[in-house]
Structure 1
Amino acid sequence: MASRYAEVYAGWQADPEGFWAEAAKAIDWISPPTRIFDADQGVYGRWFVDGICNTCFNAVDRHVAGGRADQPAVIYDSPITGRKRSWTYAELKDEVVALAAVLREQGVEQGDRVIVYMPMVPEALFAMLACARLGAVHSVVFGGFAARELATRIDDARPKLIVSASCGLEPGRVVAYKPLLDGAIDMAAHKVEACVILQRPEHPCDLIPGRDVDMGEAVAVAKKAGKTVECVALAATDPLYVLYTSGTTGQPKGVVRDNGGHMVALKWTMKNEFGIEPGEVFWAASDVGWVVGHSYIVYAPLLHGATTIVFEGKPVGTPDAGTFWRVIAEHGVSALFTAPTAFRAIKGQDPKGEFVRKYDLSRFRTLFLAGERADPETIKWAEAQLGVPVIDHWWQTETGYPISQNPVGLGQLPVKYGSPAVPMPGYDVRVLDDAGHEVPRGTLGNVVIKLPLPPGCLPTLWNADERFRSAYLNEFPGYYKTADAGYIDDDNYLFIMARTDDIINVAGHRLSTGAMEEVVAEHPDVAECAVVGMHDGMKGQIPLGFVVLNAGVAREQADIEKEVIALVRDKIGPVAAFKSVVTVKRLPKTRSGKILRGTMQKIADRETWSMPATIDDPAILDEIGSALQGKGIGG
């Protein structure tokens, strides 16, 4: 169909308040907002300031009352344990109400904070929704975070209670959560009053009398007693959650999300941006500990009346590179949203796509990629294997939903490889030089968003308005700084090339490591790659490439490395000074799939570095160090 994007975006530009007032009609309000935007509230203004609502009601109760009681709401699929189960919207409501009753009995009230420190199990969703029902502010901390990382979040959020589990499961190992939780509570200055613990059969834990509550037992008692908990009436501007993202100073930043704007924005994206109808199955293969999990595992699909999947597994190794296709075929998934890293891992294990053809993917319609730059070669591979549109899109923890994408719900636009496409309604994206002046089309610069940010974006940081200003608003007055570098072309397509930290200066030339990675990824034997800037006494910085080869490649590594260098020299030119490539077994990544380029750069430059809290497998950094030493680099 012809795209309605230009018409819809122009409509938002002409009347932003009218646009969001219309979108707000898709939400059930206790008291609908009459003041859509107030520029005098908060740091840069607040949305729907006089609206009264409840997020849990919109995600659960209204679907039960509105004809979706028997439709599956949540499907749990764990290839690690072999367990699968689904909950209808009516069953989801029963679980959420019972758990809310348990939390209320432990003293949790409106405005209290609750930390959720859980693996990828449905109870994590139930806990988030139970908090939303009570008006408590949840703060999900990625399960398995080290005790010190958890302690810093306890001290910042000051929770009344923590919901956790006895363990998390990784391929081939069990991660005991309780010792990490107890260690964090001991370490934190703020003392938590109670913990509600899910006992998992793979590794039950001892509970501390007087503090720890067995979730399964307490929920069963609440159900048997028929306890009810009504949804608390909240201001649209009341916080729904705080999600911590890493800060440059080491102190995590608590991104705040409100209730009203968050619901309006996420509900709008499901149909218009992702092309999903109520009742369809939407799968975000992420984790509830990250913003993708909050927005597109929990809230957006349920607000929309869709079915969401909670997947406890990995794209490869649980048991093979066909896991994603099995889940899509088995559960009738319409759209998958995952990180490009996942597809690079699948492509590396199954470069010919042999697993894809083992499954019936006839109901699968769209693949969405975000979290890392989606290099063109990965997108082309996915298109060729799956035969569906592959949509790169770009957003941040701070925004909560896409800033830029190809809006399939409005009608797909032409694809430009390397671009997440165009800005979405709500986002006036500009590119500025370091002095704050707009640069010509096609010129690399600082990607910023003209204020105000749209509904659903962070209004501030938790108890840190001044830090919010200094981190995001002060450098470019009147704009939100994304800290990403890129350019906008003549068709208004946005190209995000790197974090601004990843723009390297080679003998006075500002070069994008992302552009180099695109070229390296074109080599047919390369499964994954990363390029970082390494210190050079003559040129300031020079690029250093890391490559992971496809499974089954039998050629000499040195020959492949020479070909990669020649490829970059041919496509980008001698100005790139691209002369060093190191073949490694795997790249270090966070648990959400982002490559830890900064740490790799420090190892190459022999700088002091600390173990990243979010790293998936610390042993990989030793492998990187050894590979560099083999080339006479780093130490």
Structure 2
Amino acid sequence: MTDRIPTPPSVLSRLRYDPQADIDRARHDPDGFWLDEARSYEWTREPTTGLTWNRPEHGWFADGETNITLNALDRHARGEARTRAALIWLSETEEPQVLTYGMLHERVQRAAAGLRALGVGVGDRVVIYMPLTPEGCIAMLACARIGAVHSVVYAGLGVSALRDRITDAGARVVVTADVGHRRGKLVDLYAIAAEAVADLPQVEHLVLWERIKTFSREHDVRTVAWESLFTHGRAPAVPVPAEHPLFVLYTSGSTGKPKGVVHAHGGYMVGVAYHLKALFDVHPGDIFLCTSDIGWVVGHSYIVYGPLVAGATVLFREGAPDFPDPGVLWRTIERYGVDVLFTAPTALRLFMKLGEEVLKPYDLSSLRVIACAGEPLNPEAWRWAQEHVGGGLGEEAHGIVIDNWWQTELGAPTLGTHPRWPARPGYAGRPLAGVEADVVDEAGNSLPDGTQGQLVIRRPFPSMLRGLHGNPEKYASLWNANPAGYLSGDLAVRDEHGYFSILGRADDVLSVAGHRIGSADVEDALVSHPAVAEAAVIGIPDELKGESIVAHVILRAGHEDSPGLCASITEHVRRELGPIAAPGAVHVVPSLPKTRSGKIMRRLLRAQALGQDPGDLTTLEG
């Protein structure tokens, strides 16, 4: 067993929040705990009830009334935070734009009034197909302000994916831009949006933000200029019930069409802001850098709503973390004195592949927390990041790398390793305040520590989804497929200290000679080889074993493909996990197929190996 690694005292002295009292109270009085958290925010009618639950339906603060923008904007703009930076945005070429809380409040009020002038009202759906810019954030907040329900579609998905989401959401208005920037190239977003709505009479208006004004084209007759939204005065925040939908965000599983996850104003607000403080240790005035996109749940929770509700300053940039050069992320951290970084394991593995020389020119000592989520964070990547981003594990350490696990459906961190807790690399951590997680069998029985099983959430918490848009049967199945509670779809194992390791999706489990092996276990073993930067494994049919493991690996700089190296990698896995987990084949590849949010699409590798139809590829990274 890997020993737990304590947080260096030099880092502990920099942390501001200890959540243990919260965890203890939430265990004994979850309703009271969450109600107290809720009452620290602004309500037009303060709630008196916590959880209402008639499985599978549940809600939080149901008798309360608010609007998330009252807490994300108005309460800050009225006070001393008015001149504090709310958003710091960098273009792909590192040109900055800063919006204070006062400035952002003003722009959101005007954009909201413009949407209202287009006929958008409470409960109407608006699809937002925008690049990662302040305007995208403003569009989201403007919808929320008037009680409309936004659905952000990542500005990289194609025509059919966008059309399907507009249709499913029943959107009357689509907001887009002329172009996005990606690795020095322009992406014609308007052409995609115009084609997507061309045969959709339900769409009444296509709002266009023109960034460069050099494209000569014929506009869809429904096109409205973004600037025209700002000519209708200011819209006040519309009070809505706490359970009023805030947004629908579509997420793709391994099979089937994307499902529209619904989150609500009240519980989502309380949950995402709480974990920014309690897990990520972000407080008013801190600089919080998030490398996600508003097209994904992390961008919703920790670029837009969480930091703004908490009164922090969020820093984000358009473009890849290694473009225009591999030093841009680290240069940004040094330039702005970033306190907390939230990124993905994929990004850390990218820089591990490039080598620590990329980081050495930059002063990263402002960082006290480096949070990681999205894919399992393998031990090798954790150790590399702790050494080269966090400053090591001795007195010279300035920051700590923490893992956490959640989903689009859960809205906010659910399992995590708090910066004050010892880390166990390869384990996401323990249940956070108010979370009742368990590892169970298919009958809902709790499994002993060290036994692999299904990861479930036994009791709702505030930031969880309230439904799947237009699909109540599918939503009910999330709660009813396992008697123990909400079925995450992930496999996990728990150790004797209560730490959970996420082994991968249930459909990513390998079955070799009757043994169930999590794909994440094999991938962790592969990337612990000194030549391997990133890996993905699949199972292919084998007459003798049932399945044979095939590994696809990306090599670190300085290593070259050879039969001897592949044999060394296979033998390394054999030593780490035993003969049953040794790959039957190792393929060195230049890249792995991933979704836009950085998750490896193993089903595409499997389909390619078997000559099958790969299915829905709308979320495949271009």
Instruction: Decide: shared fold, TM above 0.5.
Output: yes
Equivalent residue number for residue 464 of structure 1: 471
Q: 2:142 aligns with which of 130, 134, 141?
A: 130
Q: 2:26 aligns with which of 6, 12, 24?
A: 12
Q: Is the Cα contact below 8 Å between 1:315 and 1:346 reproduced in 2?
A: no
Structure-2 separation of matches of 1:93 and 1:477: 45
Equivalent residue number for residue 154 of structure 2: 142
Q: 1:193 aligns with which of 201, 204, 209?
A: 204
- SS of residue matched to 1:114: strand
Q: Deviations over 1:130-186 (max 9, x none)?
A: 011111000001112111111111111111211101111111322111221122112
Residue 583 in structure 1 maps to residue 588 in structure 2: yes
Q: Is the Cα contact below 8 Å between 1:148 and 1:187 reproduced in 2?
A: no
Equivalent residue number for residue 3 of structure 2: none
Unaligned runs of 5+ in 1: 618-635
Equivalent residue number for residue 250 of structure 1: 256
The residue type paired with residue 21 of structure 1 is L
Q: Is the Cα contact below 8 Å between 2:88 and 2:313 reproduced in 1?
A: yes
Alignment coverage as a number of residue pairs: 600
Residue 97 in structure 1 maps to residue 109 in structure 2: yes
Structure-2 separation of matches of 1:171 and 1:61: 36
Equivalent residue number for residue 608 of structure 2: 603
- SS of residue matched to 1:45: strand
Equivalent residue number for residue 395 of structure 2: none
Q: Is the Cα contact below 8 Å between 1:151 and 1:187 reproduced in 2?
A: no
Residue 359 of structure 1, CA deviation: 1.7
- SS of residue matched to 2:79: helix
CA distance change for structure 1 residues 589 and 248 in 2, over 3 Å: closer, same or farther?
A: closer
CA distance change for structure 1 residues 135 and 207 in 2, over 3 Å: closer, same or farther?
A: farther
Equivalent residue number for residue 62 of structure 1: 75
Q: Deviations over 1:572-628 (max 9, x none)?
A: 1112242210001111111111111111011112222236111113xxxxxxxxxxx
The residue type paired with residue 11 of structure 1 is R
Q: Deviations over 1:453-483 (max 9, x none)?
A: 100110111132222012x122112400000
Unaligned runs of 5+ in 2: 1-11, 392-398
Equivalent residue number for residue 409 of structure 2: 398
1:236-635 matches, within 5 Å, as 236-247=242-253, 250-316=256-322, 318-349=323-354, 351=355, 353-386=356-389, 387=391, 388-408=399-419, 412-451=420-459, 453-470=460-477, 472-553=478-559, 555-610=560-615, 612-617=617-622
Q: Is the Cα contact below 8 Å between 2:440 and 2:484 reproduced in 1?
A: no
Residue 73 in structure 1 maps to residue 89 in structure 2: no
Residue 525 of structure 1, CA deviation: 1.5
CA distance change for structure 1 residues 205 and 502 in 2, over 3 Å: closer, same or farther?
A: farther
Equivalent residue number for residue 168 of structure 1: 180
Structure-1 separation of matches of 2:347 and 2:152: 23
Q: 1:111 aligns with which of 123, 129, 133?
A: 123
Equivalent residue number for residue 9 of structure 2: none
The residue type paired with residue 165 of structure 2 is R
Q: Is the Cα contact below 8 Å between 1:26 and 1:267 reproduced in 2?
A: no
Structure-1 separation of matches of 2:121 and 2:218: 24
Moved more, 124-133 or 200-209: 200-209
Residue 527 of structure 1, CA deviation: 1.3
Q: Is the Cα contact below 8 Å between 1:484 and 1:498 reproduced in 2?
A: yes
Residue 221 in structure 1 maps to residue 231 in structure 2: yes
Equivalent residue number for residue 152 of structure 1: 164
1:173-184 matches, within 5 Å, as 173-184=185-196
Structure-2 separation of matches of 1:474 and 1:35: 25
Q: Deviations over 1:222-256 (max 9, x none)?
A: 4xxxx121110110000010101115553221100
Q: Deviations over 1:355-394 (max 9, x none)?
A: 2221222322111111011111111111111212111110
The residue type paired with residue 570 of structure 2 is I
Structure-2 separation of matches of 1:219 and 1:132: 15
CA distance change for structure 1 residues 570 and 97 in 2, over 3 Å: closer, same or farther?
A: same
Q: Is the Cα contact below 8 Å between 1:513 and 1:543 reproduced in 2?
A: no
Q: Is the Cα contact below 8 Å between 2:90 and 2:317 reproduced in 1?
A: yes
CA distance change for structure 1 residues 209 and 385 in 2, over 3 Å: closer, same or farther?
A: closer
- SS of residue matched to 1:333: coil
Structure-1 separation of matches of 2:155 and 2:490: 28
Residue 523 of structure 1, CA deviation: 1.3
Equivalent residue number for residue 100 of structure 2: 88
- SS of residue matched to 1:482: strand
CA distance change for structure 1 residues 66 and 518 in 2, over 3 Å: closer, same or farther?
A: same
Structure-2 separation of matches of 1:611 and 1:43: 28
Q: Is the Cα contact below 8 Å between 1:207 and 1:213 reproduced in 2?
A: no
- SS of residue matched to 1:100: helix
Structure-2 separation of matches of 1:333 and 1:170: 24
Residue 6 of structure 1, CA deviation: 4.6
Residue 492 of structure 1, CA deviation: 0.5
Q: Is the Cα contact below 8 Å between 1:178 and 1:205 reproduced in 2?
A: no
Residue 208 in structure 1 maps to residue 219 in structure 2: yes
The residue type paired with residue 369 of structure 1 is C
CA distance change for structure 1 residues 37 and 498 in 2, over 3 Å: closer, same or farther?
A: same
Q: Is the Cα contact below 8 Å between 2:19 and 2:278 reproduced in 1?
A: no
Q: Is the Cα contact below 8 Å between 2:445 and 2:484 reproduced in 1?
A: no
The residue type paired with residue 61 of structure 2 is F
Q: Deviations over 1:428-465 (max 9, x none)?
A: 111112233221110011111103x1001101111322
CA distance change for structure 1 residues 449 and 118 in 2, over 3 Å: closer, same or farther?
A: same
Residue 70 of structure 1, CA deviation: 0.5
Q: TM-score, normalised by structure 2?
A: 0.93
- SS of residue matched to 2:78: helix
Residue 219 of structure 1, CA deviation: 4.4
Q: Deviations over 1:539-598 (max 9, x none)?
A: 111111111111232x45222211110001111111224221000111111111111111
Of structures 1 and 2, the one scoring higher in RCO (CA 8 A, sep 6+) is 2
Q: Is the Cα contact below 8 Å between 1:255 and 1:397 reproduced in 2?
A: yes
Equivalent residue number for residue 632 of structure 1: none
Moved more, 473-482 or 255-264: 473-482
Q: TM-score, normalised by structure 1?
A: 0.92
